[in-house]
A and B are shown apart, each in its own frame.
Chain A
Amino acid sequence: MDQVPQSSNQSDSNKWLVRILLIIGIGIPVLIELFTFSGLVSSHFFGEAPSATNDRRSETSAKENIPLVKQGDTLFSDTDYPLLVDTLRLEIYPDQWRFIMELKPLWKPNRERSEGVKLTFQNLVTQQQSLEENRVLVWTDNTLDEAEITWILPTGQRPQNAKVTYRSTRQDSLTGTLDIKRHFEFGHVPARYKQ
């Protein structure tokens, strides 16, 4: 086959390309593997000494002390009208996920001092979106009734946090109404499959 004569420039540039490709394409991978192995070895044989590795280890065990809302917690325990999180669960249906929260007053309110409490969930934030739906729970009478809120989430979405306003109205009108705005972070919400 006839060959078109080539200028030396072209084959030079090709040689350079190959050289660069070999250095980047094989050199970097070899370095990565060497770093990995030396990292593994040194963390095992020299990792016990007080070092950065050690600090990291102690900080990353199971999360225990992060104040996340979970089932059994009491919300607004610093007020006259604390609320118990009776249920917190994610129900998984084929076409939607439902986040269900059941709240229950911990004790009967002192009728003389308080007329009741109104809880407004202004929004619920999931990983991908914020559901801007007001959900209101009111306890006015002298009962320990449980109240439930359900959010319908798109499939795959988990609740992350919510903005809540707590308003209790007092009769003695000394303080009038008490407004508290809080931000709840949800930790792990147990999930259940439903059909």
Chain B
Amino acid sequence: MTFIDNYPKSAKIAKANFLVAFIALAIGGLFGLIQALHRTGWARNIISSAEYYTMLTGHGVLLALVFTTFFIAGLFVWGVTRSLDREPENMAFSWSWFWIMLIGTLMATVAILGGFVEGSSIRAAVLYTFYPPMQAHPLFYIGAALLIIGSWMAGADWFRSYLAWRKEHPDERIPLQTYMTLFTMLMWYVCTVGVALEVVVLLIPWSLGWVNQIDPLLPRTLFWYFGHAVVYFWLLPAYFVWYSILPKLSGGRLFSDSMARIVFIIFLILSTPVGYHHQYADPGITVGFKFYAMATTLLLLLPSLLTLFTVVASMEHGAKQRGGKGYFAWLGKLPWGEPAFAGCALAGIMFAAGGFSGIINAAMNINILVHNTIWVPGHFHLTVGTAVALTFMAISYWLVPQLTGRKLKNKTLALIQPYLWFLGMTLMSNAMHRGGLAGIPRRTAEPNYSQFDFEAVFGTISEIKWQIAIGGILLTVSLVFFLWVIFNSWFRGERADKPVDDFIPAALSGPEHAPKILDNIKLWVLLAIALVLIAYSVPLAEMVMDGLFSPGAPTIPV
């Protein structure tokens, strides 16, 4: 018996979410390859340089917003169902959020892909940050709003399950997987308020032509109110996997349940007030608030450093149980031949590297050195593009068999895949970081200028370019392996009663050691709201006071 036999309804909805996620991953990944080849000048004839920005929008939206949101929804359906041992309360409601998210996604995708049709008025080459006054077709904004509303409903669904469970178990501690789901969604509610206000109050009326000017700074600030917390919305589900599944895959048990809870609380409290660290180079925001954002951002290092310790200790526990010894020799006893484990572990290693470039981004004045250079995509391809995406891919090798009741096929390919991703991403992001130090900008079709050249700190620019192109090609090959393995296993895998060992052992130091206050949801939400108010109330009030839409810039359609 595995998940699909115990919870067939949840399995169905989780699979539907995964299916959308993987399709988005396939298209977004292909776009990524074309961009890498275009930017580096390896192949400039696939798309025109103007279409590059349409493609870049598609890459960002499909991977950073669609792939992540749908995968996370599927993962959380699985986690809440199994840890509470109950299927969703009302399947009609569950399917309604899925369909709302899907319809929103399709609307936004149509708006973006319209940019490839000559003469089409449906265009959305505004990138996934959609800064006004550049204006996309209204379909794009309405689609984005629906995707967010659907995700809110999904969160409500999990809270409903939790409350129903609570009625039957008044004195029990919240099971860890449900706890992590609820806290991730609480953070999501706090941060999406910003983007929802931006899209619904400002951008939709403006894109429909009801107002004809817009203040560029206000929506940008509201976007970044959401825009960094969204990063943690992607990352926390990866932490969910590292805390609750990775210890088991290593052959051990979670080192400390209370530490996992504390980490999620800190993320809930601190994720949103950090948004200004994306606006260090913006005029119009006072240095004091930038400083406050820097302090909170760097404090957010703490939960990640705690996670590093707890997760590595859980892996060490597994290795030591398998006979590992010494300070470093135990690393060799970890199951490096298991695709699910290897993918998660490699994702974790890359996150450690991404953490470093993140510190540079977060530290107010040194940020200016790399602001809007290709260093920044170099950084988030380590964090979102690997720590999150590779964890999601790796854990799919363990989850998809449970959701389909079929064994994993092509295991050799599945094993090569995460190593190939790791290698390709090292090449690509290392080159991107170096390019950023040379001043090469991000988000540009052709970083070749006629009035000056870039100078690499060491080595040459052409070397950096080929490194990016080869890295991009390796990543694409790795992605094809992943999709092939999943497709084959999902539709052609051998049916089995127990396709994987899905038993998750209890934590070494379990919830019995965790103080009750950690489960006091109301307290932590109030604290989070208070910190957000400190960071945002004054600057936002100042920006709104001179008129919601002014100082107004004229509309510029893309």
Contacts and interface: CB of A to CB of B under 8 A. Distances in A.
A33 B426 contact: yes
A25 interface: yes
Interface stretch (B259-267, B274-282, B445-453, B520-528): B445-453
A39 B459 contact: yes
Nearest to A31: B426
A115 B44 CA distance: 45
A97 B557 CA distance: 16
Contact of A95 (B119, B433, B453): B119
Interface residues of A, number: 43
Contacts of A193: 556
Contacts of B419: 21-22, 24-26
Contacts of A187: 450-451
B458 A128 contact: no
Interface stretch (B5-13, B47-55, B205-213): B47-55
A61 interface: yes
B39 to A, nearest CB: 13
B455 A95 contact: no
A127 B44 contact: yes
B415 A63 contact: no
Contacts of B445: 156
B416 interface: yes
Interface in A144-195: 154-158, 187-188, 193, 195
Contacts of A61: 452-453, 455
Given A32-B430, A63-B450, A14 B423 contact: no
Interface centre among B51, B118, B456 (most CB of A within 10 A): B456
A57 B446 CA distance: 22
Contacts of A53: 458
B309 interface: no
Given A39-B459, A63-B450, A156-B50, A29 B423 contact: yes
A37 B415 CA distance: 30
A82 B124 CA distance: 46
A60 to B, nearest CB: 4
A60 B454 contact: yes
A19 to B, nearest CB: 9
A63 B453 contact: yes
Interface centre among A25, A155, A157 (most CB of B within 10 A): A25
A158 B451 CA distance: 15
Interface string A55-83: 01100111100001000000000000000
A49 interface: no
Contacts of A32: 426-427, 430
A28 interface: yes
Contact of A40 (B416, B427, B457): B457
A187 B118 CA distance: 28
Contact of B455 (A18, A25, A57): A57
B282 to A, nearest CB: 23
A50 interface: no
A46 B452 CA distance: 26
Contacts of A110: none
A36 interface: yes
Nearest to B52: A156
Interface of B: 44-45, 48-52, 118-119, 336-337, 342, 346, 349, 353, 412, 415-416, 418-420, 422-423, 426-427, 430, 433-434, 445-446, 449-460, 498, 556-557
> Would you list the 3 A-B pairs with minimal beta carbon distance, nearest first?
A25-B419, A156-B48, A156-B50
27 contacts: A14-B337, A18-B337, A21-B416, A22-B419, A24-B419, A24-B423, A25-B418, A25-B419, A25-B422, A29-B426, A33-B426, A33-B430, A36-B430, A36-B434, A39-B457, A40-B457, A53-B458, A56-B460, A61-B453, A128-B45, A128-B48, A156-B52, A157-B48, A157-B49, A187-B451, A188-B450, A195-B557
Given A25-B420, A26-B419, A40-B457, 14 more contacts: A1-B498, A15-B337, A17-B416, A18-B337, A24-B419, A25-B346, A39-B458, A39-B459, A60-B453, A61-B455, A127-B44, A158-B49, A187-B451, A188-B451
